[in-house]
Structures are given as structure tokens and as C-alpha cells.
Amino acid sequence: MTNPRILIFLMVSALLSFLASGAKNARAFHSGGVGECEGCHSMHNSQSGFSAGSAGASLLKGGDASSTCLTCHQVSGDTGPSSYHVSTPSGEMPFGTPPKQLSPGGDFGWLKKTYTWYADVVSPMASSAGDRHGHNISAQDFGFQADSKNASAPGGSYPSSALSCTSCHDPHGTYRRNQDGTISTSGKPIRDSGSYDTSPTPDAQTSVGSYRMLGGTGYVPQGMTGGLAFSFAPPSAVAPSDYNRSEATTLTRVAYGSGFSDWCRNCHTNIHNGTYSFKHPAAGFASGASAGTLDVTMINYYDQYIKTGDLTGSAATAYFSLVPFEIGTQNYSILKSIVTTSPTKGPDLADGSPAVMCLSCHRGHASGWDYGMRWNSKTSQITYNGKYSQESLLYQPYGQGRTEAEALQAYYQTPSLKFDPSQQGLCYKCHATVPQ
Ligand code: HEC
Ligand code: HEC
Ligand code: HEC
Ligand code: HEC
Ligand code: HEC
Ligand code: HEC
């Protein structure tokens, strides 16, 4: 446990050097590295009316680590998706109304939405519990509780009771991408975020933050045992600056480069393999999981597939953000150019080794569907009669208790009419037939 006096001393000295460095962007907070200490820590026990927590809680502004993050990342009164906000207050998403944020990781508000429905006259009532909708971060000040079913990460041992924003993101943003492409926790100072197409390129004097300040090799949050420390580096990716937005007319493309599946395996070591009920490859070269790259046949099929019954698509416009893939490269000039100049192009062997990865199917935070899936994998078709929901009907085998507004939001505002009126699940974006 850190002595509070030492902590305050560290904060004051760091703040002074932070102010002296002058290198940070005034609008930003973390800028890819450690933000101003006072954004998260309270120097005095009752500062700003926040509970400072116990000394063991590192004098945080919130009651726990996640609550501290949510003091800025969940804001009341947003009229729609808004920049770095990743959660919607409970009171702003009453029954039938979806959470507001549409960031690539997804709105944690979905964890508070439980759905029930009857599929037909004979089946018992079915349900989709809120805590099935993704990563249940504990945030006591905001009503988020640990998962009630999984005691630990499926396929691994990370305890659900300890899952917080800082399980995945390093609050002090120490992981940095260097000029030679390596990732380290020390060395050159972090100049800015490394997550965007507009981020600077690391040079001889400065580095940039890891993608989304995700923890890398050796990362373990304070208070966790070393046995849970990460084995794999942060993934390589580039997001557009405008990443939290409706996809009603144009899609949001994150250029996922490589390393996502290995990064998720930091906690889900043995998922979808061996004895696991649902088997599926997810390429990860650091872990030796080389299966999962898209061969020429699958690339061509991805390019042609528009929707059920429509294979008239082409490579230049084939990308679909509800079924993304890894481009298969760590080359940031390629990743940045894809985000800025060809955001809709499909998998391309000229860019790297495109592959299926965890985020092809799941979202990093949460979604409107079970298991944080990008689409509803619990039904044979995701539209029925051209709609996502059967909200006014007695039996709802496809919409499964979600209102049209909720399902539409869960599909990031993709109009249902972009799909076939009886659209199959999105496994078919890659597979002509889904193998059993
Ligand atoms: C984005 C929020 C955030 C910012 C900004 C931040 N911290 Fe922290 N800090 C945390 C959290 C959260 C913890 C507790 C670790 C945990 O629970 O994962 C922590 C823990 C600590 C600890 C004790 C544990 C350790 O890791 O040694 C010290 C010391 C510390 N912070 C110092 C600082 C200083 C100095 C600054 C400013 C340069 C700073 N922090 C900025 C969030 C932050
Ligand atoms: C004082 C307000 C504040 C607090 C507290 C805060 N954030 Fe942020 N966060 C921001 C702002 C503003 C941005 C967007 C600008 C930026 O990235 O600097 C942001 C951006 C981010 C990003 C994207 C950064 C990137 O470079 O891609 C992540 C990830 C993030 N925050 C995680 C956290 C986590 C985890 C915590 C808690 C440990 C936290 N934040 C606490 C204000 C805050
Ligand atoms: C299980 C790991 C995990 C946890 C827990 C987690 N994040 Fe994230 N977060 C990610 C990943 C992975 C991404 C990148 C998503 C993408 O680009 O598709 C991300 C992205 C983000 C972003 C950028 C916007 C977005 O959604 O893409 C912000 C801001 C952020 N996280 C903040 C938070 C905050 C605040 C918390 C806690 C309330 C949190 N994260 C908890 C893994 C996590
Ligand atoms: C720091 C550890 C950690 C990392 C990294 C992590 N997870 Fe998890 N994950 C967990 C824990 C713990 C649970 C169980 C608690 C829960 O379901 O909320 C979990 C649960 C899940 C679930 C089941 C959700 C449900 O509602 O049943 C999915 C799906 C998942 N993770 C996918 C991912 C993906 C994809 C990534 C990489 C982007 C990832 N995880 C990275 C710790 C982690
Ligand atoms: C092809 C799509 C796909 C890919 C790729 C994929 N998953 Fe899944 N995942 C699913 C589906 C579908 C389920 C639900 C399975 C079921 O119903 O039993 C699931 C379930 C899970 C669960 C919950 C398991 C449980 O027992 O509660 C976790 C955790 C998870 N996936 C993590 C991952 C991680 C980590 C990766 C990458 C290494 C990954 N998934 C890759 C589709 C996928
Ligand atoms: C982003 C593309 C992509 C998506 C989406 C996708 N797959 Fe796959 N799938 C692959 C690749 C690549 C392989 C490995 C190559 C192969 O076997 O053809 C694979 C293999 C499989 C296999 C054989 C697995 C084995 O180990 O024998 C099954 C079964 C499968 N997929 C089912 C599914 C299901 C079900 C879904 C939807 C939940 C799905 N896939 C979604 C790309 C994808």
C-alpha cells in the first residue's frame, strides 16, 4: 500500500514536470500517456466533493478505479454519441430506449439492459441477461456490478470480481510505441495518443501511447497478483478521430492491424479451442495460433457478399464494420492510409495477412447481444419482414425482446433495409456455408 504522503509528493512532482514539459495537447486529457494526476487522484480527502476512498484506493476521485474513469467517461445529458464517452447513465435509457454511445468498443450501458421474450407458443420465456452483454466492470458509484455467472474469464483465470477499466487500460499510460515499432514501458517520452490517423509518428525523441492505452506484456493492475500479468503486447490499430458516431449512412472504420486475438488471450488463454463448446480459429502469431487467416477464396467471398442472396459486392467497398477483420500488419503508414483514403475496402493481401480475430465477432466493451457479439448470434435470422424487432407481436423469435430502437442502436444505426428482409446471421459475411 502506497503511503498517501509519498503519493501526494509523487503527484506534485509529476504535475510540475508535466506542466514544464508543455508538450501536451490542451484539449486532451491522457494524450496517450499519464494525464494530470488530479484528473483521477484527489490530493486531499474531500476534494471536489468526491469520496477519496481509503488510502489503499490510491486516493482516487471515485470509489474504485472504474468509477474514477466513469466520472469523465460517462456524462449526463448527451444528445447522442459523444467522443470519448463509453457509458450511458441508467436514468437516460428507460425501458425500450437504448444506450447512446456508438464507439467501437461499445456502451457499457448494455450491461444494465435485460431482455425477456417468448419465441413461440410452446417455449418457456427466454431471456438475455444484462451481464451477458459484455465485460462487467465493477464501478460501485455507477451501479455496475461484477458478473453473476462467470467467476473468472472463460478460458482463463482472471477473476471477474477484479474486472475494471484498469484491467485492460493502463491508467498511467506507460505502454508506448517507439520509432522502431517496439513497445516499451520506459524510454522516450510519450508525445501524444497513438490511436488515431492524426496521431504523430514516433521519432528519435518521442514515442506515442499504445493503442487505446491498452496494457501490454507484464501489465498487471495494482493489487493483482503477478500470475495474472499479461503475456502479450498491446494490439496494433488506428481509429479515425471521429469514432463514436451513427453508422446510418457511412460506416466507422477502425483499421485493426494485428495482435487483437493474442491480446484478448492475455485473459482468455483457452477460448474457442480444444474442448471449448464453440470452436473457431482467431489468428495470433505471438501465441502460435496461426489458423484463421483469410485465404483468397474467403477474401473474394467477403468482397462479394452484401447481404443474404446478394453477392454483387466489390473489393473497394466490401468492408463491413459489423464484421471487421485484422488487416494483418503492424505497419502504421498502411493502417493510417486505410482509415483516411480507403475506409471501405475489403481484406487485401497487398496490405498484410488478413485474418479473423476476436473483434470480428465481439466488441471490446459491451453490446446489445449476448457475449458482447456484434450481431445477434442467438437467432437464425437477424431481420424478419425487413425489421430487426417484432416489438408489437406476442412472439419474438428474432428481435428477442429488444425494441426496434434498441436493435437498431445495437447495429450502430445500420438501417434494417440495408439487409435482406430475412437476413441470416453475419457469419455468412465470411462463410458461404457455416460449417457445423
Ligand atoms: C486516468 C486516471 C489516472 C491518472 C491521470 C493518474 N492516475 Fe495514478 N492511479 C490511477 C488508478 C486507477 C490507480 C489505482 C490502480 C488500480 O486500481 O488499477 C492509481 C494508482 C497510483 C499509485 C499507487 C499505485 C502504483 O501504481 O504505484 C500512484 C503512486 C499513482 N497512481 C500516482 C500517480 C501520479 C503521480 C499521477 C500523475 C502523474 C497519476 N497517478 C495519474 C489512476 C490515475
Ligand atoms: C478527467 C477526465 C478523465 C478521467 C478521470 C479519465 N479519462 Fe479517459 N479520456 C478523457 C478524455 C478527455 C479523453 C479524450 C482525449 C484524450 O485521449 O486525451 C479520454 C480518452 C481515453 C481513452 C482513449 C485514449 C487514446 O489515446 O486512444 C482511453 C482508453 C481512456 N480515456 C481510458 C480511461 C481510463 C481507463 C480511465 C480511468 C483509469 C480514464 N480514462 C479516466 C478524460 C478522462
Ligand atoms: C476487457 C478489456 C477492457 C475493459 C475492461 C475496458 N476496455 Fe476500454 N477498450 C478496450 C478495447 C479492446 C478497446 C478498443 C476497441 C476497438 O477499437 O474496437 C477499448 C476502447 C476504449 C475507448 C475508446 C472508444 C471505444 O469504445 O472504442 C475508451 C474511451 C475506453 N476504452 C475506455 C474504457 C473505460 C472508461 C472502461 C471502464 C469503464 C474500459 N474502457 C474498460 C478494452 C477494454
Ligand atoms: C484483463 C482480463 C481480460 C481481457 C484482457 C479480456 N477479457 Fe474478456 N472477460 C474477462 C473476464 C474476467 C470475464 C468474465 C466476466 C464477465 O463476463 O463480465 C470476461 C468475459 C468475456 C466475454 C463473455 C461475456 C459474457 O457476457 O458472457 C467475452 C465475449 C469476452 N470476455 C471477450 C473478450 C475479448 C474479445 C477480449 C479482447 C478484446 C477480451 N475479452 C479481453 C477478462 C478479460
Ligand atoms: C467467429 C466469431 C467469433 C470469434 C472469432 C470469436 N468468438 Fe468468442 N464467441 C462467439 C460466439 C458465437 C460465442 C457464444 C458461444 C455460445 O453460444 O456458446 C462466443 C463466446 C465467447 C465467450 C463466452 C464464453 C462463455 O462460456 O461464456 C468468450 C469469453 C469469448 N467468446 C471470447 C473470445 C475471444 C477472446 C476470442 C478471440 C481469441 C473470440 N471469442 C473469438 C463468436 C466468436
Ligand atoms: C471474418 C471472417 C469470419 C467470420 C465472420 C466467421 N468466420 Fe468462421 N472461419 C473463418 C476462417 C478464416 C476460418 C478458418 C479457415 C477455414 O476453416 O475455412 C473459419 C473456420 C470456421 C469453422 C471451422 C473451425 C474448425 O476449427 O474446424 C467453423 C465451424 C466456423 N468458422 C464457423 C463460424 C461461425 C458459426 C461464425 C459466426 C458466429 C463464423 N464462423 C464467422 C473466418 C470467419
Q: Residue 347 contacts by C-beta under 8 Å, 6 or more apart in sequence?
A: 294, 299, 302, 303, 318, 325, 327, 354
Positive or negative torsion for Cα 408, 411, 416, 417: positive
| Nearest protein Cα to ligand 1, atom 40 | 37
Distances (CA, A) of 95 to 111, 156, 372: 13, 34, 20
**pLDDT < 70 regions, the chain:** 1-27, 44-57, 436
pLDDT at 53: 40
pLDDT at residue number 223: 81
**368: nearest Cα among 168, 121, 88, 161:** 88
Is any atom of ligand 1 closer than 6 Å to the C-beta of 58? yes
Give the pLDDT confidence score for residue 436 in this predicted structure.
Answer: 58
Predicted confidence at residue 256, as pLDDT, reads 98
The protein residue with its alpha carbon nearest to ligand 2, atom 22, reads 212
- Rounded-to-integer distance, Cα 297 and Cα 101, Å: 36
Asked whether 111 and 98 are in contact (CB, 8 A), the reply is no
- The grid cell for 128 is 438475455
Tell me the CA–centroid distance for residue 153 and ligand 4, in Å: 6
Q: Ligand 1 in contact with 173 (CB < 6 A)?
A: no
Identify whether the C-beta of residue 316 lies closer than 8 Å to the C-beta of residue 286.
Answer: no
Distance between start and end Cα atoms, the chain: 52
Closest-approaching ligand to the CA atom of 221: 1
Probe residue for ligand 2, chosen from 38, 61, 84 as the CB with the greatest number of ligand atoms within 8 Å: 84
Beta strands 183-184; 190-192: pairing state: unpaired
Ligand 6 pocket, residue 427 CB under 6 Å: yes
- Specify the residue with its C-alpha closest to ligand 5, atom 38: 261
Residue nearest to atom 37 of ligand 5 (CA): 358
Residue 44: predicted pLDDT: 58
The finding on whether 111 has its CB within 6 A of some atom of ligand 4 is no
CB of 86 shorter than 6 A to ligand 3: yes
- Inter-residue contact 75 to 96 (CB < 8 Å): no
The pLDDT of residue 290 is 81
State if residue 286 touches ligand 6 by the CB under 6 angstroms criterion. Answer: no
The pLDDT of residue 19 is 40
Per-residue confidence (pLDDT) for residue 1, from 0 to 100: 38
Q: Ligand 3, atom 26: nearest CA belongs to which residue?
A: 105
Q: State whether the beta carbon of 34 lies less than 6 angstroms from ligand 1.
A: yes
Q: Is the CB of 222 under 6 A from ligand 1?
A: yes
Q: What backbone phi and psi angles, to 5 degrees, belong to 329?
A: -150, 155
Distances (CA, A) of 424 to 142, 233, 255, 380, 384: 37, 35, 26, 6, 10
Mean pLDDT, rounded, of the chain: 91
Output the CA 284–ligand 6 centroid distance in Å: 15
Beta bridge partners of 127: 116
Which pLDDT does position 27 carry in this prediction? 55
**String of DSSP letters for 202-237:** P-SS-EEEPGGGB--TT---TTS-GGG---SPPPEE
The pLDDT of residue 148: 94
Best residue among 112, 113, 135, 150 to mutate for probing ligand 4's pocket (most ligand atoms within 8 Å of CB) is 135
Under a CB-based contact definition with an 8 Å cutoff, are residues 285 and 258 in contact? yes
What percent of the chain has a predicted confidence (pLDDT) above 90?
84
Shortest-distance ligand to the CA of residue 346:
6
Largest CA distance in the chain: 70
For residue 288, count CB atoms less than 10 angstroms from its CB and return exposed for 0-12, middle for 13-18, buried for 19 or more.
Answer: exposed
292 Cα: distance to centroid of ligand 5 (angstroms): 14
Is 367's C-beta closer than 6 angstroms to any atom of ligand 4?
Answer: no
Helical spans, DSSP H, in 238-349 = 260-265, 296-304, 332-341
Name which residue sits closest to atom 37 of ligand 3, judged by CA. Answer: 165
Distance (angstroms) between ligand 4 centre and the Cα of 160 equals 9
CA distance 334 to 331: 6
**11: how many CB neighbours lie within 10 A of its CB?**
19
